[in-house]
Amino acid sequence: MQHSLKDIFPNFSSELLSTIEENGSAQDFEAGTILMRTGQYIKNTVLITKGKIKIYREGEDGGEFLMYYLQPGQACAISMICTTKSEKSQIMAKVVEDVSVMMIPLQMMDKWMMEHRSWYEFVIETYRSRFEEVLEVVDNIAFRSMDERLEFYLKRHSDACGCSEVNLSHQEIATELNTSREVVSRLLKKMEQRGLVKLNRNQIELLR
């Protein structure tokens, strides 16, 4: 069953909602799709109405460092920021759970800021929350060691999917933390010994 835009963005005024329906283009993408690559020019602001997206920062050596998740009711802050001057994307966006999005042409972004108070507030709040999220990422890598970062990673994953099972291989986790598989395996083993997780093949159960 499909939720309406109104349910997903409850703070939008009804005028704004119909303008979005009019000017936006609804699109679906399967899990695994790369929605945006580092260096690409951005032509749309993306509103997520269903599914999940992960935002990565790419290293020169091909690393894919996980920054944060995007979920229904949220928007890609980068696509908003870059939109105005049609700048290049500084990040990579990957679909991790089949998504539906509304693509908003870049010229609408500025226009609506003036015309719709609820759009303005949404944009500011998007900036604020994403900025804070990135600051938290900085905290983690600047001040914490790998075991703490791994615990944080697992917690965030289960928060995002709303369940206590993480269905990822150690290699995938290692890539997103920019470390090696062996390190992840070892740290997970220690967590299992401490009773924090139960390890299965391609699955980690969080116990507390």
Partner DNA sequence: GCGCTTCTGTGATAAATGTTACTGTAGATT
Partner DNA sequence: AATCTACAGTAACATTTATCACAGAAGCGC
For β-strands 92-105 and 34-36, DSSP reports them as: antiparallel
Q: Does residue 171 touch DNA according to CB under 7 A?
A: yes
Shortest Cβ distance from residue 100 to a copy of itself (Å)? Answer: 26
- Distances in Å between the Cα of 63 and the Cα atoms of 18, 92, 99, 106 are 41, 11, 24, 29
Partner from DNA, a copy of itself, none binding residue 138, C-beta < 5-8 Å depending on class: a copy of itself
- Under the rule (CB under 8 A), what is the footprint of a copy of itself? 57, 59-61, 63, 65, 67, 77-78, 81-82, 84-85, 87, 90-91, 113-114, 120-121, 124-125, 127-128, 130-132, 134-135, 137-139, 141-143, 178
Inter-axis angle of helices 106-115 and 117-143, to 10 degrees? 120
Which ranges of 49-143 does DSSP label H, i.e. alpha helix?
A: 77-83, 106-115, 117-143
Beta bridge partners of 107: none
Q: What is the CA radius of gyration of the chain?
A: 18
Shortest Cβ distance from residue 186 to DNA (Å)? Answer: 5
> Of residues 151-170, which lie at the interface with DNA (CB under 7 A)?
169-170
Partner from DNA, a copy of itself, none binding residue 65, C-beta < 5-8 Å depending on class: a copy of itself
Partner from DNA, a copy of itself, none binding residue 142, C-beta < 5-8 Å depending on class: a copy of itself
Could you tell me the two tokens for 143?
A: 């001040």
With tokens 């001057």, the residue in question is 85
CB atoms within 10 A of CB 20: 20
> Of residues 128-147, which lie at the interface with DNA (CB under 7 A)?
145-147
Shortest Cβ distance from residue 189 to DNA (Å)? Answer: 4
Residue among 33, 40, 71, 185 that touches DNA (CB under 7 A): 185
Answer whether 30's CB lies under 8 Å from 94's CB.
Answer: no
Shortest Cβ distance from residue 147 to a copy of itself (Å)? Answer: 16
Answer whether 92's CB lies under 8 Å from 56's CB.
Answer: yes
Give the Cα separation of 98 and 32 in Å (integer).
8
Q: Does residue 3 touch DNA according to CB under 7 A?
A: no
The binding site for DNA (CB under 7 A) comprises 145-147, 169-171, 178-183, 185-186, 188-189, 199, 201-203
